[in-house]
Structure 1
């Protein structure tokens, strides 16, 4: 049976409801009255004015919204979102994807919420429950930012007469997630973006006033970390590792080309027939890009295994009901650890 998921976002990224609703929610969530009073004080009597090209406007009262930059604003919004999910009854709902005996139907990070179900009808039920409870406390679902993705064909969706976009992939927390779960497209996209960054650094790499060691550190600080972002969750095959090695070699070649031809810089004649791996070690005595990725994955696995009872550990080690298709099977994430 195919699975469907929707990525929806509220209209604003902070407390969008009226503030008296926030204080009411805090009380219902069990926050003591004296703490609620302390939280209300910074918001009491807030006023603002807008500076324009013709002067400033009159002062006006601010009755809703969070304090931008305040460390309490994300916490208040998390309580706001948790209140909505509890009232929507997602914990008690039987719809969702069962992993290790647990029913999982939502994943949340800040104002991004991902709802998951095994059928189109179940997903529609979850989405409408969240939408109705959100509107009760002043939050509105942003249809333009809501996406539907399914592992099997799905019909067009409409919410209140507006069509919800059905996509084959979407970007979540900086990574592009496809319907088939294959990481190869994300790796290609990440390498292509970093190639553009490397090209934009040409003016710095060409400068004779900047030492070579500084340029190497610049590449290690600006290019490679962006490539490795989230690589702990990738299922990387041999073909992807070869592509990553080729990208790293291309970066070093481009860096050293502005001084001398990359082999002449190391004074390695073409008759020596030295491999690219030998040249990489000479240019970058530290760990290679592939080596760094191979280190991060077991570290991430070890951190999760140390936790007694965590959501991530359940997802990683749990099993889903059903059988895999006959024939050659795709590589799993845990295969990269055991191999």
Structure 2
């Protein structure tokens, strides 16, 4: 049975990618996670197009093949920050447990050495603002 590539891509996005992105709002994106997301997306597109790694086709060529099939396409590494920032703004405007947890700190010391990247570090990196300023901006925002 032959199915059009555009239909396959729509099915991939609605069934596979939506499940994959279900909990992305809670992920801390670091270089390793970004590499894994990119690899998963490329693996799905290779499978969809029937391209094996033995065919010696680069990942960039696979992405171009997808763009030729369906037009401009938004990759997962663009979607994840958008969803995280949207969820952050939503919880910053609310007055529930999520906001309380987001603003709370943990007592005690930290380990020696460089600290691991945290969820809030992603927000700081993407907005260019400190968390208290982003919270204030989200609370002052007109509906």
> Do both proteins adopt the same fold according to a TM-score greater than 0.5, normalized to the shorter chain?
yes
The equivalent residue for 1:245 is 38
Q: How does 1:51-200 map to 2 (within 5 A)?
A: none
Runs of 4+ residues over 6 Å off in structure 1: none
Deviations 1:126-152 (A, max 9, x none): xxxxxxxxxxxxxxxxxxxxxxxxxxx
The equivalent residue for 1:303 is 90
> In terms of Rg, which structure is larger?
1
Q: 2:81 and 2:61 mapped to 1: Cα distance?
A: 19
The equivalent residue for 2:81 is 294
Q: 1:313 and 1:328 mapped to 2: Cα distance?
A: 27
The equivalent residue for 1:283 is 66
Deviation at 1:281, TM superposition (A): 4.8
The equivalent residue for 1:235 is 28
**Bigger proportion of residues as strand:** 1
Deviation at 1:303, TM superposition (A): 0.6
Q: 2:61 and 2:87 mapped to 1: Cα distance?
A: 29
TM-score normalised over the length of structure 2: 0.73
Cα gap change, 1:301 to 1:277, in 2 (>3 Å): farther
Q: The residue matched to 1:334 in structure 2 has which SS?
A: helix
The equivalent residue for 2:121 is 335
8 Å CA contact 2:25, 2:84 repeated in 1:
yes
Deviation at 1:239, TM superposition (A): 0.9
Q: 1:305 and 1:336 mapped to 2: Cα distance?
A: 15
TM-score normalised over the length of structure 1: 0.33
The equivalent residue for 1:318 is 104
Deviation at 1:294, TM superposition (A): 1.6
Q: 2:60 and 2:80 mapped to 1: Cα distance?
A: 17
Deviation at 1:240, TM superposition (A): 1.1
Give ranges in structure 1 of 5+ residues lacking alignment: 1-206, 265-269
How many residue pairs are counted as aligned between the two chains? 119
**Bigger proportion of residues as helix:** 2
8 Å CA contact 2:45, 2:62 repeated in 1:
no
Q: The residue matched to 1:252 in structure 2 has which SS?
A: helix
8 Å CA contact 2:42, 2:63 repeated in 1:
yes
Q: The residue matched to 2:119 in structure 1 has which SS?
A: coil
Q: 1:276 and 1:212 mapped to 2: Cα distance?
A: 18
- Of 47, 70, 73 in structure 2, the residue corresponding to residue 254 of structure 1 is 47
Q: The residue matched to 2:113 in structure 1 has which SS?
A: coil
